[in-house]
Amino acid sequence: MGEDTVPETNKTFVIGHRNPDSDSICSAIAYAELRRQQGLVEVKAARAGTINSQTQFVLDFLGIEVPKLLTDVHPRIKDVVTEEVISIHQSAPMSQALQLYHQYRIQMLPVVDDAGQAKGLLLLNQATELFLVPVEPEKLRRVQASISSIQSCLGATPQHLADPERVEVLDLHVGARREASFSRWVDEIIPQKTILITGDRPGIQRLAVAAGVRLLIISGGTPVDEELLTLARQNNVSILVSQYDTANCVWLTRMSTPVGLLAETEFLVVKPNDLLEDLRLKLTHGKHSGAIVCSVDGRVEGIATKSHLLKKSPVRLILVDHNELAQAVPGADKVEIIEVIDHHRLGNFHTDLPIRFINQPLGSTCSLVSTLYQQAGIEPEKKIAGLLLAGLLSDTVILKSPTTTEIDRKLVPWLEKIAGLNHQEFGSKLFSAGSPMASGAPARKLIFTDFKEYRVGDYLLGLGQVEVVNFHSFHQRQGELMVELQNIRKEKGYELVALLVTDIVQGNSLLLTAGPSELPFVIGYPQDAENLYRLKGVLSRKKQLVPHLLKVFKGI
């Protein structure tokens, strides 16, 4: 996978929400390590969005690599079309195609040129109809092939060849008559359009060559005398000697048509990275029963059929720090979610099968993951303990947030000891490094740095949060932030979009809003200025702001 496509197959990814904060990233890394130690194969941490400056500081400080970016986990064609590609060259005879159908138990064969690029699609049922379904005798005689392809199909030894590569439509006959009646029959045919198969019958052979038939096939491996060869050269007659008996020579000659002449030239082409859902629509609502999977340069890489639509994506997810699909990486609803580890309210999440779902009202997901380490009797290594401490301190605002629980407080000394860090000093450093307001980042980036969506009935709310050490930098940028909030509301169709600016030193917040005209009369917070409200003692979006706004908009 690149940075924007489905990842390598057979992987389980531990991943947070689309706008990851420190708790989301740190808990993903730490939980992936725990599950590895517990024996879960091929599990690794990932992220669904760009990390913020605070998280970057934490990872740099602890010397931990940034998790892989997954912007999309929609199942792709390459995730389910994994079989070895079986193709056939356009010049190969139909007999070879039948061998491949039987050997690999397949129904479709991509027909390719010398460069491996698709030239057609050979369907077993359509191709065999030409040879097996009874038709009028004259059509049964027709062979469209070159002498070279007939030679290849028979495994014959050439005695003399005239223009062997030219593809022609010829009539196939067997020289089983007596010489007298055969001599009369020769007068009734067009020799230049005739293939004659005969065994050890020198008289018939000589009459056919003298008449100038296009091709004489001698069955049973009978040798050819020099006199006959001299006559063949004079009359421009090709001669092949086959070890097969006459009956098998007839069958194989009929099977000598190059598959390029029989293949469907109107075929469906898809790319390995195309969405599996798009393939589903094409195969279920279109006329095609399969598609050729081709690389960007046109080389055949596989065949996709309706049976592939039944295969599961090899990508599995463990969600941390969220349990709503609206916040999950795009495509999460199309792959198997095997676990959820979270500390937020329950959303609209559902699964087809029972899964491990752990949700506890703690101050951070890192707190929850820490308890899982303790329950498993596994002590996290030093760097992992540092990650867990960082996520805990970030989400609880160094234990000042009202979401902080007694469990969070008890975990801090345990993590401090393992990580070798003082939580006050470490917390101050990560919040100083993580305040984006004074960084000069664009207004839109500030709003979306820690942004989540919430649905209340028919209303969709969008709430961002930025933490500062004072409101000075916010007031300097208030105007541009307001303009951007209004733009986002219009673009996304939010009933309300707002930015919660939290002073972690004073323990207060300001709420800048773009919402309905009646908002000032129903929001219930004192108004500092137009579209700006003061939220005294509010530090937590999840526990303090969101429940209040949900109640407000239920009443509108």
Q: What is the pLDDT of residues 341-368, one digit of tens each?
A: 999 888 767 788 889 999 999 999 999 9
DSSP state of 542: I
DSSP H/E element including 434 = helix 423-434
Q: Tell me which of 397, 412, 434 is where a domain ends.
A: 434
State the DSSP code for 65. Answer: P
Least confident of 23-37, 279-293, 378-392: 279-293
Task: Tell me: do 441 and 429 sit in the same domain.
Answer: no
372 and 425 co-located in one domain: yes
Q: Do 109 and 41 lie in a common domain?
A: no
Q: How far apart are CA 24 and CA 491, in angstroms?
A: 27
pLDDT band at 5 (very low <50, low <70, confident <90, very high): very low
Question: What's the confidence (pLDDT) of residue 450?
Answer: 87
Position with higher pLDDT, 473 vs 414: 414
Pair 65, 101 in one domain: no
Reply yes or no on whether the pLDDT at 505 is more than 80: no
From the number of C-beta atoms within 10 Å of its C-beta (0-12, 13-18, 19+), residue 60 rates as: exposed
Cα separation of 419 and 425, whole Å? Answer: 13
Letter for the amino acid at 56?
A: Q
- In this prediction, residue 4 carries a pLDDT of 43
Instruction: Output the pLDDT for position 527.
Output: 96
The reply to whether 27 falls in a domain is: yes
Residues 35 and 168 occupy one common structural domain: no
* Type of residue numbered 130: L
Confidence bin at 429 (pLDDT 50/70/90): confident
| CATH number of residue 176's parent domain | 3.40.1390.20
Is 296 inside any structural domain? no
Angle between helices 365-376 and 382-395 (to 10 degrees): 140
pTM, entire model: 0.67
Same domain? 104 vs 241: yes
Helix or strand (DSSP H, E) at 551:
helix 546-554
Q: Within a domain: residue 299?
A: no
Q: Which of 54, 66, 63 is nearest to 427 (CA)?
A: 54
pLDDT, residue 133, reads: 61
Domain end (from 377, 402, 434):
434
Q: How confident is the model at residue 142 (pLDDT cuts 50, 70, 90)?
A: confident
Structural domain harbouring 371? 11-75+314-434
* Assigned domain for 38 exists: yes
The CATH number given to whatever domain includes residue 475 is 3.10.310.20
Structure tokens belonging to residue 312 = 């599961």
Q: Are residues 197 and 126 in the same domain?
A: yes
160-164, 324-328, 365-369: which has the minimum mean pLDDT? Answer: 324-328
Whether residue 49 is predicted with pLDDT greater than 70 in this model: the reply is yes
Mean pLDDT for 120-141 is: 74
**One domain for residues 171 and 253:** yes
> 521 vs 516, 517, 538, 555, CA distance in Å?
10, 9, 20, 12
Compute the average pLDDT of residues 217-238: 95
Say if 1 falls within a structural domain.
no
Instruction: Please write the tens of the pLDDT for every residue from 431-448.
Output: 878 777 766 789 999 999
pLDDT per residue as tens digits for the range 63-94: 999 999 999 999 999 999 988 899 999 999 98
Q: Which CATH number goes with the domain that contains 369? A: 3.90.1640.10
Q: Mean pLDDT, the chain, as a whole number?
A: 91
Do 36 and 59 fall within a single domain?
Answer: yes
The verdict on 349 and 424 lying in the same domain is: yes
- Nearest CA-CA partner of 405 in 368, 448, 458, 369: 368
User: How much is the pLDDT for 497?
Assistant: 97
Total number of domains constituting the chain: 3
Of the candidates 434, 464, 485, which is a domain's last residue?
434
- Predicted confidence (pLDDT) at residue 8 exceeds the cutoff of 50: no
The span from the CA of 21 to the CA of 24, in Å, is 5
Q: What is the DSSP string of 67-104?
A: PEE-S----BHHHH--SPP--EETTSBHHHHHHHHHHH
On the question of pLDDT at 1 being above 80, the answer is no
Let me know whether 41 and 153 are in one domain: no
pLDDT at 53: 85
Q: What is the dihedral of CA 440, 442, 445, 447, to 10 degrees?
A: 90
Output the pLDDT for position 74. 93
Q: Is residue 389 part of a domain?
A: yes
Residue 332 inside a domain? The answer is: yes
Question: Does 520 lie in the same domain as 453?
Answer: yes
Sign (positive or negative) of CA dihedral 472, 474, 477, 479: negative
- Check if the beta carbon of residue 279 is closer than 8 Å to that of residue 77: yes
Residue 49 belongs to some domain of the structure: yes
**How much of the chain, in percent, has pLDDT values that exceed 90?**
69
* Residue 396 CA from chain centroid, whole number: 37
